[in-house]
Structure 1
């Protein structure tokens, strides 16, 4: 089975993910690997629904893993989820995987860079993982691949 390409906002169909790997395989290329979190990792939500993580759930037992590659990133930051705050003045689409139209991080990158934003090619992507928040400003769309189970 061939790995399947995925669009950024399609990641919003996942409930929770873990950031399991980050690397720069080449200059200005950022690669992230995320894994879908098992139901047992969000016990409180299940209990709020009157369920237990041990109850049988109609879910595929294989959790999905994705590789995300930003081929032309300009800047990225990773924060501890506990210290990240949601700014209501920012404008974005998505929940878990966000695509910003306006953000403080994009403003910061613009103000500390050499006029890149004037051509409106910069995009701010954010991924809200369990334990981490990943922010990436890139000149192009990321390449996302759903990896085969191993």
Structure 2
């Protein structure tokens, strides 16, 4: 997969809608495309908790919403070595990391790969070469280390995406 040109990279923002393990040690993410929205008093849209307010929390801020015109994506790993979900508010960019991508990142070097090497016996011999994948969402950062790349498909029907609750 050419990570740099994958359609998910054209998303300005993503919301994490769901994360689950459909079978033991498989991982499925549903992410919703989102974008700036200046329409007042929107109802029935997926937004951050801030949208309960009539005004943005910071002067000049713009709401980011998932609307019906936006896309939804499923990312599926048939196996993984480790994954982590971080609150975006406490996440810190790793200046020593090497990666490609915008909202879906493929790392060749990262602190998370170093952590997995320290706390597991997984390596390039077994189960094979490891890749760190990052999914950058508004409110969440998901890190996955796996020997395989995710299978990504665009979900066509809103109900398939299990719309994010307000």
Q: Could you say whether these structures have the same fold, taking a TM-score greater than 0.5 normalized by the shorter chain as the test?
A: yes
**Which consecutive residues of structure 1, in runs of 5 or more, have no partner in the other structure?**
1-5, 54-59
Residue 15 (structure 2) aligned to one of 15, 18, 36: 18
Taking the TM superposition and a 5 Å limit, the aligned residue runs for 1:110-129 are 110-118=117-125, 121-129=129-137
Q: Is the 8 A contact 1:8 1:142 kept in 2?
A: no
Taking the TM superposition and a 5 Å limit, the aligned residue runs for 1:13-52 are 13-40=10-37
TM-score by length of 2: 0.71
TM-score by length of 1: 0.78
Taking the TM superposition and a 5 Å limit, the aligned residue runs for 1:66-105 are 66-105=73-112
How far the C-alpha of 1:123 sits from its partner, in A, is: 0.6
What count of residue pairs does the alignment treat as equivalent? Answer: 134
Distance 2:95 2:35 in 1: 30
What is the alpha-carbon root mean square deviation over aligned residues?
2.6
Q: Does 1:136 align with 2:144?
A: yes
SS at match of 2:22: strand
In structure 2, the residue matched to 1:107 is 114
Distance 1:107 1:36 in 2: 30
- CA deviations on 1:1-20 (whole Å, 9 max, x unpaired) are xxxxx865422111001000
Q: Which has the higher helix share?
A: 1
Q: Is the 8 A contact 1:7 1:144 kept in 2?
A: no
Ranked by relative contact order (alpha carbons within 8 Å, sequence separation 6 or more), the top structure is 1
In structure 1, the residue matched to 2:161 is none
